[in-house]
Every structure is written in structure tokens, then in C-alpha cells.
Amino acid sequence: MLNFTVGPVMSSEAIRAIGAEQVPYFRTAEFSAVMKENEHLMLKFAKAPADSRVVFITGSGTASMEATVMNVFTPEDKVLVVNGGSFGHRFVQLCEIHDIPHTEIKLDMGRKLTAQHLAPYEGQGFTGFLVNLDETSTGVLYDIQLISDFCRRNDIFLVVDSISSFLADPFDMAALGVDVMITGSQKALACPPGISIIVLAPQSVERVCANKVKSMYFNLEDALKNGERGQTPFTPAVGTLRQINARLKEIEAAGGVESENRRMAALAADFRSKIGDMPFDIVSESLSNAVTPLHPHNVSAYDIFLRLKDEYHIWVCPNGGDMADKVFRVGHLGALTTADNDTLISALRDMQSKGLL
């Protein structure tokens, strides 16, 4: 199986080997040291401001999206939400569930966010901004500098879901004034799913501690207190956290976050250069290094997903709902190489030669 989805992604042999080991007991000094190292490297790779903190949630990225909305916003806030696809819509749903007053900036499929979209909201008293930096359902990478400048001008608290773009695209939390960054274990970290990660700037920690959230599992103040000793309030996905530790150290040894950015940018550029003459349109106006969204000219996108999976043992990423037949996505995350790109291209060309594209 060759995996070009956007999560879970291909893991290296070393990371997979850790997953085969017995899972150790975790209320120990040894595991606390692992967790403190995880926090240190996550802060370094996110380029978080001094005195920032990290919370590791045992749950998917949506768990950390919900925990963030619950812990940093209240019904007294007024939040802008960029909704350009299924994950932007998820932030809208979370605001609805938790009674957070919000306004959607609704974008059509594949469209980038522009200054014109933001202009009507200047000086309108908004206190929060929620954005999925890479709207993974459509492959659009939003202009984070544009968003950062807007939030700074308007004194708005900025929450960035960087679940699929973390390590794939350049990102500097401190320089951009980002208050919260969210990511997950199964994207560019190339570990199994099950852990999502919240990086909190100091002002976010203050908000969390001032907001008495009605939740046991998603109480980030409790998580922060436990994190001071390298622990979590409840039993975490211990094996996955050990794999994250190895993966973070692997990235550090290979040159750090900039090197990882370059590696994925090269993989994405290589793939895109090789499909120029094929019957696909790239649907995004602003591409992330994480994924290439493709609209086939002549056949169902979902049929391509099924055929690649069943006949060629290659997985790409399908879409659901209205986009199921319109767009499939090719990921560039994890332990992939340009030779793997060639394998996928060969399969697509074989399908084309048989009149299946």
C-alpha cells in the first residue's frame, strides 16, 4: 500500500517499529521527560513566543478544535470564522454548539481569502478569528500574513488550525501574532492518529485560566497544570506520544522545521510538474505544500480514488458530500519520495491509456 492521503500518512520504519513495542506505564519520571521534550520541540518548530505552552489531547484534530473554542471563547465574544470548506464549516458548528457569537466569511470552493473579504469587518468589534490555515477539503492555503495584519489592526484574538499545514508550510507563530495553533499526529508528524496538539501563546494561557469551562476532559487549565510535571490529566495515547517524540527528534536531526518545509515543497512541486499534460485541473487558487486538489475532466473523482485503491493499491484522498465526484486530493505529507510520486503518476497514466481518465 502506498498512501498519498492527507492523514494518516506514510510513517517511516523507525516510527512504525515503536508502535510494535509494548506500551509502558506512563506515570513515571521517564515518560514525563519524554513529554517535556515533546513540548520543547513543538514550541521550537511552531516558533512560539517565550513562555508559550503545549497541550497534548488524546483525540483527533476536531477534539482540539473543540477544546480551543470552549476554553478561549465565551458568549461574550464576537468571532469571525473563515468557512471555505468542510473544516471551516466545522468551526462554525463548534461555535453554534458552544453558543459563541460568530459571523462566517463564506468562500466558494478553491477560492483564496482576500483583503476585500475582510474589509467589511474592519472596526466592527470582533474579538476572535478562527481559520483553518490549509482548508484541507479544497487544498487552499490562506494568506496568514493578511489575516495576521487584520487581527493586529483590530486587536483580535487569532486561532489557527494548522493541522495539515504544520511542518509543510512556513509558519512563525510569534512573528504572526498567532494566539493558538492546533495540529495533529497523523499529518506531517507522520505518526498514527489519536493525538492532537494545542500550542498556546502566553495570552492564551491567561484566557484559559480565566475561563471556567464546563468540561472534565477538555479542561485546558487542568491539562496545563498536569503539563507542568510532564503529564496529562487522564491516560493519553502513550505509544503515539512516544512515536511523536521520535519523529520530532528525527526532524530536528534532519535540519529542523525549515528543512522539513523544503522537503515537502519539493515533493509537491515534483508531483505537480509531472501532471501538467494530464486531464486534471488544480482547483485551489493558493496551494499548500501539503496537498494537491485535482478536478478530473472526464470521470468521477471518487471513481479514481476507488480504482487506484482497488487495482493499484495506492490511496489518494477522496472528498465527501457535494465534492465527492468533483475533487480528489494527493497528499505530500509523511515518508514519501519522488520515486513514490512516479509510481502514482505511472498508475494514472495507465488508467489514461485504458480510457479510464
Phi then psi for 300, rounded to 5 degrees? -70, 135
pLDDT for 138 equals 87
pLDDT for 321 equals 84
Cis peptide before 8 (omega within 30 of 0): yes
pLDDT for 19 equals 97
C-alpha dist (Å) from residue 138 to 69, 259, 327: 23, 26, 8
All residue ranges of the chain with pLDDT < 50 are none
| Residue 44 identity (one-letter amino acid) | K
Neighbours of 335 (CB within 10 A): 15
- How far apart CA 88 and CA 265 sit, in angstroms, is 24
Q: Which triple of cell numbers denotes residue 321?
A: 458530500
Tens digit of each residue's pLDDT (9 = 90 or more) over 18-76: 999 999 999 999 999 999 999 999 999 999 999 999 999 999 999 999 999 999 999 99
- How far apart CA 127 and CA 2 sit, in angstroms, is 44
pLDDT for 334 equals 96
Q: What is the distance of C-alpha 206 from the center of its chain?
A: 24
Tens digit of each residue's pLDDT (9 = 90 or more) over 107-118: 998 899 999 999
- How far apart CA 72 and CA 209 sit, in angstroms, is 9
Max Cα separation, the chain? 62
Q: Which triple of cell numbers denotes residue 41?
A: 520541540
CB 83 within 8 A of CB 235: no
- Burial tier of 119 (Cβ tally within 10 Å: 0-12, 13-18, 19+): exposed
The model's pTM: 0.96
CB 164 within 8 A of CB 142: no
CB 158 within 8 A of CB 148: yes
